[in-house]
Amino acid sequence: MKKKIIISLIIIVLLSLISYYLYYENNTLQVSNYIVTSDRVPEDFNNYKIVQISDFHNTKSKKLHNSLVKEIKNIKPNIIVITGDFIDGNRTDVNTSITLIKNIKDIAPIYYVTGNHEASTESYSKLQEELINNNVIILNGKSEVIENNDGIINLIGLDDPAFNGDPYRDDKTTIKDELKAITYDKSNFTILLSHRPEQINTYAEENFDLVLSGHAHGGQIRIPFLGGLVAPNQGLFPKYTSGLYEKDDTKMIVSRGIGNSIIPFRINNRPELVVITLQKA
């Protein structure tokens, strides 16, 4: 009888520790800082700060929401960018996502591009309307000239390829076609917001200076020394899940994102807020 009680207590303790670990891993925000140095960065953009939010998936975690607002206020970025999947296509809650916008919109201008989840829900039109009402700039196949004192850079955003209505056209072709329709001065330092990191070769072919992406959720389960386990459009042991990558003259930063979707938990892969600081080489 005593042995059974001890075994039961051990099981309870182990289950409690696992539950706490999963709660911590999925609700505790990590801030990751990156410095992007280039001789193409204008002097007036030296130490210019960009906060990137990706794959929010209208998370219900109040702890994450409060941490995001607190951290962004402390960082005091020049701009905030949202790189897709701001809502979740499986359990869409526009109001939760817009609540976050309302709490950060006075900190800095916000720029937004879509992800595949926006394309999979009928609520996207409502989200789009609410974003516009809260002064968020939607970069769906558009470019913006960002000014800071006398310096200028380009900020370009792509609609996710999932919005493509032609099932016979691949993602690369869709992205290429969308980029062809965008006019911008290529002599300026140019940042691209695009949800899909697996398309890095496509971005490099277009000579973007910096790409900000998401989509991979950090590989969902991160294995020490190996990285992420699985990611959409990349499969098992994906290559582009988290951090800074370089291809030719193009740098790409992939956010691990904030929320979850089909796989409801993260392991060794906390929700991430990305901070990019531009520096003149």
* Percent of the chain's residues with pLDDT above 70: 100
pTM given for the model: 0.95
Fold of 2-280: Purple Acid Phosphatase; chain A, domain 2 (3.60.21)
C-beta separation of 128 from 163 below 8 A: no
Q: What single-letter DSSP state applies at residue 145?
A: E
**114: number of Cβ within 10 Å:** 29
**How far apart, in whole angstroms, are the C-alpha atoms of residue 37 and residue 277?**
8
Contacts 24+ apart (CB under 8 A), 128-133: 130/94, 130/98, 130/101, 131/98, 131/101
Q: List, for residues 118-169, the tens digit of each pLDDT value.
A: 999 999 999 999 999 999 999 999 999 999 999 999 999 999 999 988 888 9
Confidence category of residue 2, pLDDT binned at 50, 70, 90: confident
Torsion of CA 39, 43, 112, 142, to 10 degrees: -70
pLDDT, tens digit, 9 for 90 and up, residues 74-90: 999 999 999 999 999 99
Domain positions in the chain are 2-280
Gyration radius of the chain over CA positions: 20
H or E segment and range at residue 263: none
